[in-house]
Structure 1
Amino acid sequence: MLQFKEVTKRFGAFTAVNGLSLSIPQNEIFGLLGGNGAGKTTTFRMLLRLIDQTEGTITWKNESISYDSSHLIGYLPEERGLYPKMKVKEQLIYLGKLRGMKKFEIEKEVSLWLERFNVPEYSDKKVEELSKGNQQKIQFIAAVIHKPELLILDEPFSGLDPVNVELLKKAVLELKTSGTTILFSSHRMEHVEELCEHLCILHKGKPVVSGNLKEIKRSYGRKNILIDADFNLTFLEQLSGVHHVKEGMNFTTVQIENEQVSQDILYQLIQRGFVRRFELEEPSLNDIFIEKVGAAYE
């Protein structure tokens, strides 16, 4: 279990993280969300003991993280930390040795990961010769090559096209299956919904939402209806229980107060004409994020 208990970090008069408490089970992918300046990277740096918290405690397996346990942890920073003039293989061997691996072990893992990410030909290329997306792949390999028990990923999908995002997501899920506990941040809500069971949304260093994703959605109350009809739907904005109507290219999204409102809307629609699509769905994490963080701005 990875635990944060009332963790606060101050830089002079500025509070970057304020009273953060989290419990992250072993062998789980946990999402830490927030906008710019929310405190995500500061939280990761405190966890890794790169900086010390001002107040509170951080423990993993009931102990504080120290240099003695650092070989069990992998870290992919948001800002890439690779040496641009070094060749990919040389760099990964160097970083693997820092984690206590033998050269023959590293070479085997490097070969497997480069093949997996479809870039074996980059082994002898300098990092600066690679695209941003391929640099991100190498950074990811550097974070996992030693098979860490705890993996911290700060915006891991940054710079990747959709094909490579899927490659990386598959790798993350397989690491979880093999027993790795993963804590990651992302501003892409769909990635969090796909990968995480639990999450925390930070705003200005304070948690505004935290818990099980399904329970968070259920407690949110509001739901969305997706509608495709042969007539204008702007009249829906005037109906009781309707919070928002957004027209898209292929369908209109209507945010409603609860499921009962959907029945009233359906009745109104069938009085007016042909309805091709009428689908009730759970609120998206993006909806919840905007409302919770937006409310904190007000």
Structure 2
Amino acid sequence: MAKLPWTEQSKPKEYRGHKSKVHSVSWSCDGKKLASGSTDSTARVWHVEKQHHGRDFVELRGHTQAVEQVAFHPSDADLLATTSSDKTVRIWDTKSLKCLREVSTLGENINLCWHPNGQMIAVGNKDDIVVFIDAESMEIIKSMQFSFEVNEVTWNSKGDKFFITTGLGTVQILSYPELNVVYTINAHTSNCYCLKFDPKHRYLAVGSADALASLWELDTLTCLKTFTEMEWPIRCLSFSHDGEFLAMASEDSHILICNTETGKQVFKVPSNSATNSIAWHPNKYQLAYACDDNDRSRSDYGIYVFGQL
């Protein structure tokens, strides 16, 4: 059974410089870059590897309101997608620092995800509309208005199913590209906020406003276990690269790490305020996260990486 190479003396490394709170973090597929999106209307790409001797970040400017989510392309380490409450989606070349493509959407966007093949982007907004955007032409191929609260959206690893967490306590599974409802998971007794698939394609984790996270077997869509240690609604989830560990975060004063097989708590990463986003490194036991940073003695905001760099 895998073990985390962390101790109680382990400390996170800070990457600071944003002018206001950070809402999202994302690793590039090769793990050499870490992106952050902030309410200061910018995204940053941090060079976190030790062998990088130049400036430790680049700044991407262009959005006029908060950058709500950032997401690297699933297989191109230089392409980053950003979505903002300014009702646009942008794709950036993080080498040239240029915005390659941009599209206006139907409302104030709050999340996005890539199709596993990198050819499509799905974006959800505050009005519970999900739009599907061709990543090359940046044309909106289809939009769907839902009659319930839509929170996080994502494709499965094959890209033939589309998953939505809802305000009804359910996870809706739609066929793709038809977008017909094929199954509904009655996951929790209150809003389902977030979901993640483990990299080995065995599990689906769901986080809810009831302060619980549930682990589901993908083949049978049966609930294997429930994690009950958090006291506040689960805001975000992330699996380690090998699927051995599940991280979950909320307004609790820590990020909880549990073993997915046993369900047991194995570590608590200290957090000084509500955590907005977490992401495991694609091939190492390193956890990136962004918090509200309520330390009023600081004038800058940033992200953290826990684990040896």
Please, what TM-score do these two structures have when normalized by structure 1?
A: 0.30
Q: Which has the higher contact order (CA 8 A, sep 6+)?
A: 1
The structure with more strand, counted as a fraction of residues: 2
More helix by share: 1
Query: Which of the pair has more CA radius of gyration?
Result: 1
